[in-house]
Amino acid sequence: MHLDSSMVLAPVNIFGYHKSIRKRNVPIGTKFNRLTVLKEIPGIRRTFICRCECGAQTETLLERLTGGITKSCGCIAVRHGMSDTKFHNIWMSMRSRCGTPSCSGYKNYGGRGIKVENRWDKFENFYDDMFEGYAEGLTIDRIDNNGNYGPMNCRWITVAEQNRNCRSNVFITFNGKTQCKASWARELGIHINTLDNRIKMNGVDTAFRMPLPIHK
C-alpha cells in the first residue's frame, strides 16, 4: 500500500532511537530556520520549545528541526491558508521521509539518498510549482524513481498508478535491468501472484525464464 501522501513519524523504540539525535548538543538560542530554541522538554524523544520569528511559540521534535521539516510555528503555511490541508501534509510528509531518520519511510527514501531539492525547502515554492494540477485523490510521484523530489522530477498521479512505481512493490534485478515486481509481472505477461509463487519456488533466475502459462 502506498503511503506517500499520509506517512507520519512512527513510534520509536527507546533502544533504537537514532544515536545522532539522542547525543546532539543543542544550546539554548540555537536557530533552525525561523525557530529559536528556548527550552528542551524531558522525554524519550527529544522535544524543544521554540520561538518563531513571528513571535509565537511552538513545540517540535529535534529530528524535525535538524531535518528542516519544521521551519516555523506554522505561520508560513497559514499565509496560504493551507496549514490543515492534504496538500500541505504531502509537503510535510515528503520532507519527513527524506530528512528524518525516525520516520517510518526514511529507509526507502532518505536512507537510500533521495532528497528534496533546496527550492522546496520553502512551502511557498512547492505551492507555486505544484498546486496547479493538484486534485484530491492524487499523490506526488517522482518520474525517475532514483531521483530527488523537485519540480522537474515530480508529477501528480493516482495511487494505483504510483503503486506501479513504488519501491515497496519490491525491486528485482534480472539481466542487468531493475524494476519493481509489479512491472516485471506486466512485462512477462503473468499475474503478480504467479510471479511471486515462481520466485518462491524456483528463485529469480529460473522464475523469469519459465514459459508463459497457456490460456485456453
Please report which confidence band the pLDDT of residue 48 belongs to, taking 50, 70 and 90 as the band edges. Answer: very high
Please write the tens of the pLDDT for every residue from 73-121: 877 666 667 777 899 889 989 999 998 888 888 888 898 899 999 889 8
- 104: region left, alpha or beta (phi > 0 left; psi from -120 to 50 alpha): alpha
Which of the residue ranges 104-108, 144-148, 205-209 has the most confident prediction, judged by mean pLDDT? Answer: 205-209
pLDDT above 90: residue 172:
no
For residue 202, pLDDT over 70 is answered with: yes
Percent of the chain at pLDDT above 90?
Answer: 18
Helix, strand and coil in the chain, % to nearest 5 = 40, 20, 45
The domain limits of the chain are 14-169, 170-216
Determine the Cα–Cα distance for residues 115 and 133; give it in Å rounded to an integer: 23
Q: What is the pLDDT of residue 140?
A: 92
The C-alpha cell that represents 143 in the structure block: 518520474
Mean predicted confidence (pLDDT) in 124-136: 86
Distance CA(58)–CA(74), nearest Å, equals: 9
Higher pLDDT pick, 48 / 128? 48
pTM for the structure as a whole: 0.48
User: Taking CA 71 as the corner, what is the angle to CA 68 and CA 74, rounded to the nearest 5 degrees?
Assistant: 140
Q: How confident is the model at residue 20 (pLDDT cuts 50, 70, 90)?
A: low
- Confidence (pLDDT) at 23: 77
Whether residue 155 has pLDDT greater than 70: yes
Rounded distance between C-alpha atoms, residue 135 and residue 90, angstroms? 12
| Most trustworthy range by pLDDT among 63-67, 106-110, 114-118, 160-164 | 114-118
Q: Is there a contact between 27 and 61 (Cβ–Cβ < 8 Å)? A: no
